[in-house]
Structure formats: C-alpha cells, structure tokens
Amino acid sequence: MLPYTLIEKKQAGKTLTRKEWEFFISGYLSEDIPAYQMSAMLMAIYFRGLEDEEVSNLIDIVIQSGKRIHFKHKDVFYADKHSTGGVGDKISLILAPLAAASGRVRVPMISGRALGHSGGTLDKLESIPGLRTNLTLKEFQEQTDRIGCALIGQTNDICPADRELYALRDVTATVRSIPLICISILSKKIAEGIQGLVLDVKSGNGAFMQTKKDAETLASKLKHFGEAGGLKVTPVITDMNQPLGQAVGNWLEVRESLDVLHGGGPQDVRDLSIRLTEEMILLAEPKADRKVIHAELASLLDNGKAFDKFLEIVKAQDGDISVLEDPESYPEPDYVAEVTADEAGTVQSIDTYGLGLDAIDLGAGRRKNTDTIDPKAGMLVHVNIGDNISPGDPVITLFSDNEKALKNKVKEIGERVKLN
C-alpha cells in the first residue's frame, strides 16, 4: 500500500477499508508516514467526509492505538462530559468536581488541549502550578475511585493516535469536520471506561458548528457512534454566539471557575455547569427527580463542597492549591489594557471566533504545535449581547506579557463587538 494512493482515493471521495485505515494510522504513529501526508489526508477527509463505516472503524483503530480502561466497580456509574469546543468554555473545571462532590457518579475525565480558536481544558488545568495531567493509568483509576474524579490529558496509553491527529488538525484548519470530531471525542471517551457521556455540542459563531443544523447533525452522529460504542449518551446543543462567562484565557478561566465553585461567578457559566452535571446524573439515575438534583447541585456550589472537591483533586495531582485558595497570589501579566466604548448603543453581536483567535495572538493558544502557552494571557469580555452601553464603558480588558501583541489588539479588538 502507498500513502499517496490512499490520499488520492479519499480525495476522489471513495471509501477506504479498515486495513487501509489501519495502515495509514499506524504508519503515521511509527513516523513511516510523514505529517505532510497525514495533513493531506485530513484535508481530503475535511472536504470529502467519511462513510459511517469508516468512522466506526477509525474510532476503533484510534482506541486500539492505546489501552482501554476497565473500572473494577460494577455498581458505580462512571460518567463524563465533553464539549465540542468554544471560547471561554470552562465548564469542565466546575462540572467535574461538582459531579464528584454529589457522590452520585465518578468522573474519569480525559481532556484535550486548545484546538483551533477554541480553548482546551488541559491547557487551563496546566495553568495551575505543579498540576500533573499525565497520571499513569493506574493512578488515574485509583484516584477516580478514591476521590471521585481525576483529570488527565491523552497519554501514550490512551488514544495516542488522537493526540497526534488532534495536534495536526489544530494547525492545519481541519478541525471543523463532523466525522473527525466524532472520532476524536468518542475514541477518548470510550477508552476511558465510562458508561455515560454528556456532550455539549456548541452552536454559533464561536463554535466549530456555526449553524443549528450542523450542530444537530453533529449531536445525532455523536449519539449514534457513542451508543454503538456501548455508551449512554445525552447530547445538549448550547449557544456559542458569545464567550461563556467573561474570561477567555487559561488562568483567567480557572479564576472565573473558582468564583463559580464558590457559589458566585457569571450566571451563564453557573447555569450551564449545573445543567450538564444534572444530565450526567440523570444518565446514572434515569428515574431521579431533575428538580431535586438541580437543587442539590446548586447547594454544592453555594456551600463550598464543590470547591473543596476541586482542591482535593488538584492536590491529589500535585497541583499548588495555594493559588486556588488565594488567586491574588498568582503572577500578574506584564501588560494590561482596557478597551472602552466610543459610543452608546446596544450590543448586537460578538465575533466570538475572532476573540478566540485574538486570545491566541495574546499568547493564550498555539499558532504551531511546538508553541508554549502563556497561562496569564487572555481577556475579560465585559459585555453580552443585548447589553446597553454608554461611551467610556469597559468592553474588553486584555492581558499579555507580549506588549506588541497587546498594542495591536487594542487597535482592532473593539471591532469584534457590534453595536446598533
């Protein structure tokens, strides 16, 4: 088999056999197939798509590139939530400890890094000094069973093929593909040994699926392939026409999550965190009363138990909890700039995708996969669609160690928010 002819085959819109996909994926992992040929293949998939049979085969091949976890306790419900990606989406940082604090489910969570314009839970977690996200599988399982949750990234053990493909898609503009998103998310989630999965399928100008119709197609495909892989799946389509909460950028988002874990924070972040955790628990206990679960989750945020669970998880993974207890002690970015409104008006729309790219320019994401992230970089977006603003009102505050990038952004970022 030649990689070249397989790329040509997909380019022509033909279906590749399981053997051909095995050859291509294993060849890429062993470096016999170079990144430029894999990039060409990803682009061919992006334009030509994949048949359902190819998606099922690829989910399986990606799982088999590593190990699959089997938890020992048959009487426990292991569940997770995954977002298809957005801007300011810090829900996992709240939902994981909240669900674990409820004691109704255990959460073995494998998260990804930033992808395209969207942030990644793993990068956010790694803004906490010392936090290890590369637990061994034994540690991951043991911690999940001991304290109800563990938070890791893809390792050599779990779906290494997804880790490599994810990094390549991030820099080759091949993220926005329904079959590739299904393969990436479901391979990780099936491999982590869960029974239930809540999928937050984002729709809008800051999501990979910009229209409701595309989000619905992605949601139904994720449910179909997830169930075929033995999971109970609840997809929820949620809005991504403006950032979630105010904070965009790794440490800034951790900080905002701490506010929510203390019972405060932006209402949209609190509501969505509770909603998705509720869905997760309902997968475990389908007969439970939604209202009772909702009230229980709200009180776990308000009484500090979810925050305590977050500290317990971070501590178990060697993270420095002092910055979570006293966020003011976290290093400050070198430069801060506030963009204010020039005129009065009502916010009509926010270019959320553009803000995601701006955050990368400020240092919060990667332009190429070898770049390092500045955890302090990012922005606070002070306005929401529908807000009335007056001249001089703060619109966006920018944070960066890169003075030039910050100055350039100050000039252009006001354009992201459109007034009537």
Binding interface with ligand URA (CB under 6 A): 84-85, 112, 115, 175, 180-181, 184-185
CB 175 → ligand URA: shortest distance, Å?
6
Reduced to 3 states (helix: H, G, I; strand: E, B; else coil), residue 86 is coil
Contact 168, 36 (CB under 8 A): no
CB-based contacts of 403, cutoff 8 Å, min separation 6: 334, 335
Reduced to 3 states (helix: H, G, I; strand: E, B; else coil), residue 80 is strand
Q: Is 170 marked active-site? A: no
Indicate the residue among 109 and 258 with the shorter CB distance to ligand URA: 109
CB 185 → ligand URA: shortest distance, Å?
5
Token look-up 């290093």 returns 331
Indicate the residue among 184 and 238 with the shorter CB distance to ligand URA: 184
Catalytic residue, candidates 80, 89, 157, 162: 162
Count CA atoms closer than 13 A to 230's CA, side-chain side: 12
Contact 118, 92 (CB under 8 A): no
Q: Retrieve residue 268's tokens.
A: 């949209």
Catalytic residue, candidates 81, 188, 202, 416: 188
* Burial zone of 152 (CB within 10 Å; 0-12 exposed, 13-18 middle, 19+ buried): buried
* Burial zone of 32 (CB within 10 Å; 0-12 exposed, 13-18 middle, 19+ buried): exposed
Contact 124, 310 (CB under 8 A): no
Indicate the residue among 226 and 333 with the shorter CB distance to ligand URA: 226
Q: Is 157 marked active-site? A: no
CA distance linking residue 241 with residue 3, whole number of Å: 40
CB 203 → ligand URA: shortest distance, Å?
14
CA distance linking residue 401 with residue 332, whole number of Å: 9
CB 334 → ligand URA: shortest distance, Å?
31
Indicate the residue among 57 and 121 with the shorter CB distance to ligand URA: 121
Contact 346, 417 (CB under 8 A): no
Amino acid symbol at 25: I
Catalytic residue, candidates 82, 163, 223, 409: 82
Indicate the residue among 118 and 400 with the shorter CB distance to ligand URA: 118
CB 174 → ligand URA: shortest distance, Å?
9
Q: Is 188 marked active-site? A: yes
CB 116 → ligand URA: shortest distance, Å?
9
DSSP string, 1-61: --HHHHHHHHHTTPPPPHHHHHHHHHHHHTTSS-HHHHHHHHHHHHHH---HHHHHHHHHH
Q: What are phi and psi of 178, to 5 degrees?
A: -60, -50
Token look-up 């699959």 returns 68
Q: Is 162 marked active-site? A: yes
Give the residue at shortest CB distance from ligand URA: 184
CA distance linking residue 117 with residue 356, whole number of Å: 5
Helices (H), 344-394: 352-359
CA distance linking residue 135 with residue 142, whole number of Å: 10
DSSP string, 3-16: HHHHHHHHHTTPPP
Query: Which helix (H) or strand (E) is 75 found in, with range?
Result: none
Indicate the residue among 61 and 316 with the shorter CB distance to ligand URA: 61
Catalytic residue, candidates 127, 184, 203, 273: 184
Indicate the residue among 85 and 266 with the shorter CB distance to ligand URA: 85
Catalytic residue, candidates 104, 113, 169, 255: 169
Q: Is 390 marked active-site? A: no
CB 90 → ligand URA: shortest distance, Å?
15
CB 177 → ligand URA: shortest distance, Å?
8
Indicate the residue among 84 and 238 with the shorter CB distance to ligand URA: 84
- Give the residue numbers annotated as catalytic, written as ranges: 82, 162, 169, 184, 188
